[in-house]
Every structure is written in C-alpha cells, then in structure tokens.
Amino acid sequence: MKPRSEHPDTERVDLADIAPELLPYLGQAAYLQLEAFQGLAGVVRAVPGLDAKEELSAAAGLTLGKFQGLVAEIRRHDAQPAEVMRPFTASIDRLQQLTTGSDWQETLLGVHVTTGLLDDFFIRLAAGLPKDVGPRAAQLLGSDAGSESIGRILAAELAADPALGSRLAMWGRRLVGDTLLVARSALHDTGNESSDQQRVEPVFTDVIAAHTRRMDALGLTA
Amino acid sequence: MKPRSEHPDTERVDLADIAPELLPYLGQAAYLQLEAFQGLAGVVRAVPGLDAKEELSAAAGLTLGKFQGLVAEIRRHDAQPAEVMRPFTASIDRLQQLTTGSDWQETLLGVHVTTGLLDDFFIRLAAGLPKDVGPRAAQLLGSDAGSESIGRILAAELAADPALGSRLAMWGRRLVGDTLLVARSALHDTGNESSDQQRVEPVFTDVIAAHTRRMDALGLTA
C-alpha cells in the first residue's frame, strides 16, 4: 500500500495498486471492442447519409483494430481468444441489448457513451497490469476510434431536431449505471474485491466526469 | 476492335476494349464493398461461435479496407465519394435485401456468392480503366477479404447439418441472376451499351464458372 495523502479528495488514485488478472482483463476488453464494432457497423446500415456511412464505417474499422490488437495480445500470452472472452459474453451482450435504442441516433449515442466510459476505465486499470503489457494495452485503448466523427454526426442530428436533445439526454443517463456495472465486474478477479471496490471509487468519479464532458460537448445534460 | 480469334470459345475476352467511365465504376465498386462489409458485420453478430466471430470480423475489416481504398481513389480524382456512390445505392440496397437470408448461414453464403461474382467481374472490367487506376483497382478488388475463412465456416456448418446443403444450394442459385443484373448495370455508362453487352458475354461465362467452382468447393451444386 502506498501512503495515503492527507487530502484524499485531491489525491489522484493510483490504480497500479490494483492488479487485474491479465487474461480476464484482455478478454473483457477485447469482447467490449468487438461488441462496439458490431454496434457501429449496425449504425452504418441504419444511418441514411452516405458521408455518415463512410465516417461511421471508419470508426467501426478503428474499433475493430482495437479488438484485433487485444486479440493479438491474448495470443502473445499463448491463450485462445475465444476461451478468454467467453466468461464476459453474457454480461456484455446484455449491455449491448440495453445500448441498442429505438433508432440509430439512440444506438449511436449508446455506443459513444458505453465505449467512452469503458475505454476510460480500462485504460486506468491497465496501470496495474504487468509492465510489458499495461502501457501497450492503454495506448491501444486510448487510440482514436472515430469518437470525433460520432460526436459530429450526433451534433448534426441534435441541431436538426430540437426534440431529440431531451430524449438522447435521458437515454444517455439510462445507460451509465449498466455500463459501470460492467466496469465493476472487471475487478472481480483481483482477489481483493471489497477493498479494491473501495479504492476504485475515485476512478469512477473521474470516469463519470469525463462522460459528463462528452455529454456536455453534445449539449446534453448527463 | 481487336481481330477475332478463329476459335471464339477458346478466346479470352479482352475487356480492355470496354472502357467503363471511371467515377461510376469506382462509385459502384465502392458501395458494393460497403454493403458487403455491413453484411459480414451483421453475420458477426448472428454467428454463435467466438472463433467464427473473430474470423468474420477480420473478413469484414478486409472488406472495409477495400471500400476505403476505392474511396481514396475517388478522392484522388477530386470527386466526393457520396456523390459518386449515390446513383448505385438503390440497386445495391435491393441486392442486399435479396442476399439477406432467413438465417446467418444463408446470409453468409449470400455475401460469399455476390461478392465473389461481383469482385471477379469488376476486376475484369478494370482492364478498360485508365492505366494509372485500372491495375490498382484490380489489385485492390483481388486482395484477400477472408473468403477462405468464410468458406471454412460454411463448410463446417454444412458438415454439421446434412439438411443445410440443399437449402444453401438453392439459395445460392437464387442469387446469381440478381447479382449479374447489378454487374450488367456497370456497363450502362460505357456509351456503347448493346455491343458491350454482347462483347461481355464471355466474361459472364468465366465469372459464372468461377462461381460454380466456389460452390463446388462447398459441396453445393451451383
């Protein structure tokens, strides 16, 4: 344990103290990217504009690249990606169902919100991975996956339809709790669950603050 | 016109005689790849096995790469991809609807059959494009897009379910006519339609022969 600061609320939590098990970390992170890829590809079909189709397909491709990078990492550790991802499919499939909205705008915001929160969280969690993997995983998850395009497309929709804002704001709020539940489940394998859950609270605060800024950027109340 | 061979049925047709207009060629070829990408991404969601999901997502990514290469080619000619693709969306969306089967096995065969036929056809048509574009377009369209994985996944399904073979064979046959209609529409802009349609017949014969070999490889009667 590191010495605690005198002022805990100004302390930047050091997640290096929490060591997630490597393969479950990679398996969950990978399947999340695969799910995000599918979500984006589904929106490519649903969105009417050809420019938006091109931009969103590029975002889907970048997300697929993250998945493939994580899968390569799993193979580098002599494990089978399918085996390593399997324990996480049920909870992530459930999240995907919750994230799928009644129209493509909701679904796209769903991918934007959940991917934003979870990538942020997994990047921080990477600090506790072995030194030969952690930085690479963090860099991979932090790499661009078209969130700027997604934001721009959503902003254009919001500008064109004044009624959409309150609906999307509510939709975004609905998804935060379930997304954080999936994030929390990443700690189940650290073998030190309850103290880790406590220690990780400030990280959740940070991750939610970043989410609020993303929603703000769209003019939506988080 | 080149001199005709004494033995027309051993003659390899030279499509360099048919010069498709560059931008419509690129627009139609690009939108076909975008549609194939979406089809494959949809099957990633529907297929139950995680190994198959990984393989098919890779195929989707390679197909997306072809789309992006064609889009880059359109931009290199100072045109807007959306404008150039737009005239082809209705006919290709219709083909996509026809290609979407009642289960993922039919849909995957649909992508396999239509992409196989159309890539083949567009590769041959590329011979009539300007010399600085044609070879690059042909190479792009001829590059691997995971058809081996697709074949392997379909073969495993066929081996596991003896009743599937006759259903998929029928499904594949159903799609050939509509796919070739889309291929034929690529000749509408050559300004020399009826003679081109005639001259292109041997190409269709070749393209269909390649299709038959693909179906044979799956043990399906074309």
Residue-wise pLDDT tens digits, B7-37: 444 445 556 677 889 999 999 999 999 999 9
Cα A203 from chain centre: 14
Query: Scanning every residue of chain B, which has its alpha carbon at the shortest distance from the alpha carbon of A55?
Result: B68
CA separation, residue B71 to residues A64, B23, B57, B90, B134 (Å) = 19, 10, 21, 19, 14
User: Considering only A181-185, A194-198, A201-205, B1-5, which range has the smallest mean pLDDT?
Assistant: B1-5
| Minimal C-alpha gap between B58 and chain A (Å) | 8
Closest residue by Cα to residue B25 from B63, B75, B66, B70? B70
Given this model, what pLDDT does residue B5 score? 43
**Distance in Å, alpha carbon of B55 to nearest chain A alpha carbon:** 10
Nearest-by-CA chain B residue for A96: B45
| Shortest Cα distance, chain B CAs vs residue A1, angstroms | 39
How far off is chain A from B214, nearest CA to CA, in Å? 27
CA distance A156 to A67: 28
Does B127 map to a domain?
Answer: yes
> Chain B residues within 8 A (CB-CB) of chain A?
34, 37-38, 41-42, 44-45, 49-51, 53-54, 57-58, 60-61, 64-65, 67-68, 71, 81-82, 85-86, 89
| B118-155 burial code (b ≥16 CB/10 A, e <16) | bbbbbbbbbbbbeeebbebbbebbeeebbbebbbebbe
* B48: closest chain A residue by CA: A89
> Which residues of B are less than 8 Å from A48 in CB distance?
none
What pLDDT score was predicted for residue A190? Answer: 54
Closest CA to B220 of B151, B124, B125: B151
pLDDT at A28: 97
Q: Does A11 map to a domain?
A: no
For B68, other C-beta atoms within 10 Å of its C-beta total 20
Mutate to test the interface with B, among A44, A51, A53 (most CBs of B within 10 A): A53
The answer to whether the CB atoms of A44 and B51 lie below 8 A apart is: no
Cβ contact (<8 Å) for A64 and B82? no
- Identify the CATH number of the domain in which residue B196 sits: 1.20.1260.10
What does pTM read for this prediction? Answer: 0.90
Q: Model confidence over A153-179: pLDDT tens digits? A: 999 999 999 899 999 999 999 999 999
Q: State what percent of residues in chain B have pLDDT above 90.
A: 79
- Give the residue from chain B lying closest to A31, CA to CA: B50
Element (H, E) at A188: none
pLDDT value of position A207:
94
HSE-CB at A169 with a 13 A cutoff on CA atoms is 15
Mean pLDDT of chain A: 90
Q: B100 pLDDT exceeds 50?
A: yes
pLDDT of residue B190: 54
- Residue span of the structural domain in which A173 resides: 18-217
- Minimum mean pLDDT range among A63-77, A154-168, B60-74, B195-209: B195-209
- Asked, for residue B69, whether it belongs to a domain, the answer is yes
Query: Does a structural domain hold residue B136?
Result: yes
- Indicate whether A41 belongs to any domain: yes
SS3 content of chain B, % helix, strand, coil (to 5): 75, 0, 25
Nearest to B81 among A34, A54, A65 (CB): A54
Concatenated DSSP letters of B74-107: HHHTT--HHHHHGGGHHHHHHHHHHH--SSHHHH
> Chain-centre distance of CA A137, in angstroms?
13
Domain count, chain B: 1
Query: Using 50, 70 and 90 to split pLDDT, how confident is the model at B186?
Result: confident
Assess if residue B114 is contained within a domain: yes
Distance between CA atoms of B214 and B222, rounded to whole angstroms? 9
- Asked if residue B1 has pLDDT above 80, the reply is no
Residues 6+ apart with CB under 8 A from B128: B15, B16, B17, B18, B19, B20, B134
Tokens of B23: 């931008």
pLDDT at A200: 83
Tell whether B5 is covered by a domain: no
Q: Give start and end residues of each alpha helix (H) in A1-88.
A: 22-46, 50-76, 81-85
CA atoms of B41 and B58, how far apart (whole Å): 9
Of B42, B57, B82, the CB nearest to A64: B57
Q: What is the pLDDT of residue A84?
A: 98
Give the pLDDT score at A33: 98
Cβ atoms B142, B123 nearer than 8 A: yes
Of A38, A65, A85, which is closest to B41 when you measure between CB atoms?
A38
* Interface mutation vs chain B, best among A47, A55, A57, A96, most B CBs within 10 Å: A57
Average pLDDT, chain B: 90
How does residue B121 score in pLDDT terms, banded at 50, 70 and 90? very high
Q: Is residue B6 part of a domain?
A: no
Between chains, do A85 and B50 touch, taking CB under 8 Å as contact? yes
C-beta neighbour count of B191 within 10 angstroms: 10
